[in-house]
Homo-oligomer: A and B are copies of this chain.
């Protein structure tokens, strides 16, 4: 079940470094792309930093709308995630090409991806230097949700292998998030 994530804990959705799917929409068009270069940037209000290349269709939509979502895919979506990072949107509807369904976000006019395990709705903070020089977008997370089978009370807990988050290497190679390890201060 999708449940809201407290904003003060939203950074924990990204803290372990999973690959993300960036969704965007503007002027009746929408797109999805994969991004590994995404990380938390602040706790409260929660901010994220994500690289969105200037040559992508997503970039056009985000520049036009000032919003995007970070969807966190799981192992069940590995194929769609790879394809989202390999083909360009624009002419055709890339969601259909990937075979993914969407649902409406709460706070922004951007589709969220069904089957993902967490979703961060983000509003871009105007940072022309970062956007132009580094393709780096800084954004505030204004709403967060997660699938409570794997994320609840601010904690990821992976039991179903198909719902484990993904970490991308290169060339179609991912790692799934592995065993948990609880360490105490000595």
Chain A residues in contact with chain B, CB under 8 A? 12, 15-18, 36-42, 47, 49, 51, 75, 78-79, 81-83, 86, 127, 129-130, 134, 136, 138, 154-156, 158, 164, 166-170, 172-186
Contact = CB atoms under 8 A, between A and B. Distances in A.
A134 B42 contact: yes
B175 A178 contact: yes
A182 B177 contact: no
Contact of A155 (B82, B154, B173, B183): B173
Contacts of A164: 178
Nearest to A35: B39
A180 B173 contact: yes
Contact of A16 (B83, B130, B136, B167): B167
